[in-house]
Amino acid sequence: MAIPKNFQIGFEMLLRAAREERLVLAECIDSRTGEPRYVICVACTGGFSGLRIPLGHLHEGNANDVYIEIPDTWH
Q: What confidence tens digit (pLDDT) does each residue in 19-37 have?
A: 999 999 999 999 999 999 9
d(CA 35, CA 52) in angstroms, rounded, equals 20
Structural domain range at position 40: 25-60
Condensed to tens digits (0 to 9), the pLDDT of residues 54-72 reads 988 888 888 778 777 766 6
Report helix, strand or coil for 52. strand
What is the model's pLDDT at position 73?
58
Q: Is residue 4 part of a domain?
A: no
Q: Is residue 31 part of a domain?
A: yes
Q: Model-level pTM? A: 0.73
CA triple 56-60-64, angle to 5 deg: 90
Q: Is residue 68 part of a domain?
A: no
What is the enclosing helix (H) or strand (E) of 14? helix 5-19
Q: Is residue 10 part of a domain?
A: no
Q: Is residue 32 part of a domain?
A: yes
Tally of domains in the chain: 1
Asked if 73 contacts 4 with a C-beta cutoff of 8 angstroms, the reply is no
- Average pLDDT along the chain: 85
Q: Is residue 40 part of a domain?
A: yes
Residues 6+ positions from 37 with CB-CB distance below 8 Å: 27, 28, 29, 30, 57, 58
What is the model's pLDDT at position 65?
83
Q: Is residue 15 part of a domain?
A: no
Q: Is residue 71 part of a domain?
A: no
